[in-house]
Amino acid sequence: MLDGIHEIVVATRNRKKVDEIARMLDGTGIKLLTLDEAGECPEVVEDAPDFRGNALKKAREISSCTQRAALADDSGLVVDALGGSPGVFSARYAGPEATDLDNYSKLLRELEGVPTGKRGARFVCCLALVLPDGEEFVFDGVCEGVIAEKKMGQSGFGYDPVFIPEGHERSFAEMSPQEKDSMSHRGRAIRAFAEFLLDG
Ligand code: IMP
């Protein structure tokens, strides 16, 4: 499926993200390069209205700048009682310089008084792969759950301390990274991508 492609540039400077994807792609024979390893590229502005649009925009611009296959992701939290917010604005929900604490505290405030049955939410991850010839592939991952009444747990990042995945009573921040990966939106999208590589 990916004839002649042995290296893929991941459109992020976050080494942890690349390592996480590399762990799950083990055995596929694909080597991942960070943006810093692939050359100088201008910063991509994430201004699309949805996760898919942002992931494709990043992958297209990085593929065209590096002349290589590029993989980009976009992810966030979609809360039913807030009409889908924070969505693509998850990283900056409480403002442009917001910390994780600022963001999930704002979310808990917005949901004050909302009963358990109406606190449904999902994490969404969209992974886009763009090849040098312009061919495009998209892999989605979703993890359904509810927003907790208060912060639970210390690990993870972002909204992990307030997100309880469906079928569980612990938040993502109370799980090991492996347990979270086994059900998370990002884990699901990366596994779909790995299956695509192996099927090829
Ligand atoms: P990005 O895809 O790296 O731009 O992430 C967008 C934002 O969504 C992050 O800054 C977090 O606030 C939130 N987010 C995405 N994935 C997760 C997750 O697995 N746990 C907690 N928060 C997440």
Question: What confidence tens digit (pLDDT) does each residue in 176-194 have?
Answer: 988 999 999 999 999 999 9
Query: Does 54 contact ligand 1 (Cβ within 6 A)?
Result: no
Question: What confidence tens digit (pLDDT) does each residue in 12-53 have?
Answer: 877 777 888 888 888 888 899 988 888 889 989 999 999 999
Ligand 1 atom closest to Cα of residue 46: 4
Catalytic-residue membership of 80: no
In the reported structure, the alpha carbon of residue 90 is separated from the centroid of ligand 1 by a whole-number distance in angstroms of: 7
Query: Does 147 contact ligand 1 (Cβ within 6 A)?
Result: no
Mind listing the domains of the chain with CATH numbers?
A: 7-199 (3.90.950.10)
Query: Does 139 contact ligand 1 (Cβ within 6 A)?
Result: no
Measured CA to CA, the distance from residue 49 to residue 53 in angstroms comes to 7
* pLDDT for residue 200 is more than 70: no
Question: What confidence tens digit (pLDDT) does each residue in 141-184 have?
Answer: 999 999 999 999 999 899 999 999 999 999 999 999 889 999 99
Q: Is the separation of the CB atoms in 140 and 86 below 8 Å? A: no
Ligand 1 atom closest to Cα of residue 184: 19
Question: What confidence tens digit (pLDDT) does each residue in 64-78 have?
Answer: 999 999 999 999 999
In the reported structure, the alpha carbon of residue 124 is separated from the centroid of ligand 1 by a whole-number distance in angstroms of: 9
Query: Does 93 contact ligand 1 (Cβ within 6 A)?
Result: no
Measured CA to CA, the distance from residue 66 to residue 29 in angstroms comes to 20
